[in-house]
Amino acid sequence: MGAGHDTVARELARRARRQGHHAHIVDLLKLLPGGLGTGLRLFYQASVRHFPWAYAGLYEAFLRPGTQHRPSGLPLARLAGGRLTALAERTGTDVVVPVFHLAAQLTGHLRDQGRLRSPSAVFLIDFAVHRQWLHPGNDLYLCLTDEATREVSRSITVPVETTGPVVAPEFFAPAAGAPAWRQRFAAHGPGRPPVLLSAGAWGAASELGGTARLLAAAGLLPIVLCGGNERLRARMGGIPGVLVPDWVTDMPGLLRAARVLVDNAAGQTAVQALASGLPVVSYRPLPGHGADGVRRMEALGVSETAADGTALLEALGRLSTDGAERERRIARGRELFRGDVMARVAALAALSTR
């Protein structure tokens, strides 16, 4: 669900291949029968974009952590079990790495049943741990933070380790495309600090136009990332003083050229910003795991949350200016990147083949 899972999977596959392994990327939703996965994806996308209250209700019912009984996603995930085990057998898979919570439910179940012979190492890509990530049948959990590791360890008795997030190496290096972005910013709004407003790959955000107008009126240059939402892009393009690029293929360059990211989901764009040395401010977070993730990021000290427009402008004023506070925030974000997920996965695979 969403481009963040795909982005992480592609980077893990790239690392595996670079280390001399074979890697197969599998979309669990495409393994579900009868087009069910496509329907689920469209429903989720529509909910997040247009009916966030509906997704908030689903999150409360199915995902939110807690001791009370809630429905499991396992009955749904199990519908893909036969296809996944057949694929693992056909490809000679040594280890399966779920990066999506329904996949983690399925691999845990299949391991419990003895139907999946390959061990499963779950890479939990969210800052906030929700219950559908957790299944005691999995062999290993790899988490972004020590806090997430402790939470998983309290819930299930399997090995859990902290590896930090995963991004492509280009986000850590000086970006060749940054000067071109800076020239574009200067042409569009000379002297105005460029601030990214991210609506994710699906273009989901609350009151994005109002936020863009607020920033433009304050002398900032809002760069609005609308993902694949062309209707949103058209609306944002009509706001004076706002830059609305097409689908961005040079995210490392863009993140290096901007001064602050305004985020609403604690997802992969925020992680990429932290790797690139771009401070993150959360504003109007999406409900459910977005809001929970934003709170976790703030508690870690790698971002802050603005409660209203006044607080947002104050935070952007501080963090867009060079100085000790900006440098501390950048350093804190980069401290998250501490381990090699694929090295740990390869070690588990090697143990299973002895």
The mean pLDDT of 144-170, rounded to a whole number, is 95
105 vs 128: CA distance, rounded Å: 17
The mean pLDDT of 301-322, rounded to a whole number, is 97
At residue 47, does pLDDT exceed 90? no
Shared domain check, 227 and 305: yes
- Looking at 26-35, 56-65, 94-103, 206-215, which range is the least confident one? 56-65
- Looking at 57-71, 125-139, 337-351, which range is the least confident one? 57-71
Cα radius of gyration rounded to whole Å, the chain: 21
At residue 266, does pLDDT exceed 60? yes
pLDDT of residue 53: 67
**Number of compact structural domains in the chain:** 2
At residue 233, does pLDDT exceed 90? yes
pLDDT of residue 70: 52
Shared domain check, 346 and 281: no
Residue 200 structure tokens: 């994710």
Shared domain check, 111 and 80: yes
Shared domain check, 114 and 188: no
Shared domain check, 71 and 57: yes
**194-217 burial code (b ≥16 CB/10 A, e <16):** bbbbbbbbbbbbeebbebbbbbbe
Shared domain check, 103 and 214: no
Going by pLDDT thresholds of 50, 70 and 90, the confidence category of residue 80 is confident
Shared domain check, 115 and 256: no
Shared domain check, 326 and 187: yes
Shared domain check, 205 and 163: no
Q: Which of 307, 282, 310, 308 is nearest to 296 (CA)?
A: 282
Give 122's contacts (C-beta < 8 A, 6+ positions apart).
Answer: 97, 98, 104, 107, 108, 133, 138, 140, 141, 142
DSSP letters of 289-346?
HHHHHHHHHHHHTSEEE-SSHHHHHHHHHHHTS-SHHHHHHHHHHHTT----HHHHHH
Q: What sections of the chain are H helices per DSSP? A: 3-18, 28-31, 36-50, 52-58, 74-77, 81-91, 101-113, 146-155, 178-188, 208-217, 230-237, 251-257, 268-276, 289-300, 309-319, 324-334, 341-352
Shared domain check, 71 and 206: no
pLDDT of residue 130: 86
Give 178's contacts (C-beta < 8 A, 6+ positions apart).
Answer: 252, 253, 254, 256, 257
Contact 73, 48 (CB under 8 A): no
The mean pLDDT of 227-242, rounded to a whole number, is 92
Looking up residue 313, the CATH number of its domain turns out to be 3.40.50.2000
- Give the domain extent around 22: 3-167+338-352
Shared domain check, 203 and 62: no
pLDDT of residue 212: 96
pLDDT of residue 110: 94
Q: What are phi and psi of 39, to 5 degrees?
A: -60, -40
Length of the chain: 354
Shared domain check, 207 and 138: no
Q: Which of 53, 52, 28 is nearest to 41 (CA)?
A: 28
pLDDT of residue 9: 95
Q: What is the mean pLDDT of the chain?
A: 90
Widest pairwise Cα distance in the chain: 64
pLDDT of residue 272: 97
At residue 40, does pLDDT exceed 90? no
24 vs 92: CA distance, rounded Å: 11
* Model confidence, pTM: 0.91
- Could you read off the pLDDT of 101-131 as tens digits, one per residue? 989 999 999 999 999 999 999 999 999 998 8
Could you give the strand order of the β-sheet that contains 194-198, starting from the edge strand earlier in sequence? 221-225, 194-198, 260-263, 280-282, 303-305
- Could you read off the pLDDT of 340-350 as tens digits, one per residue? 899 899 889 88
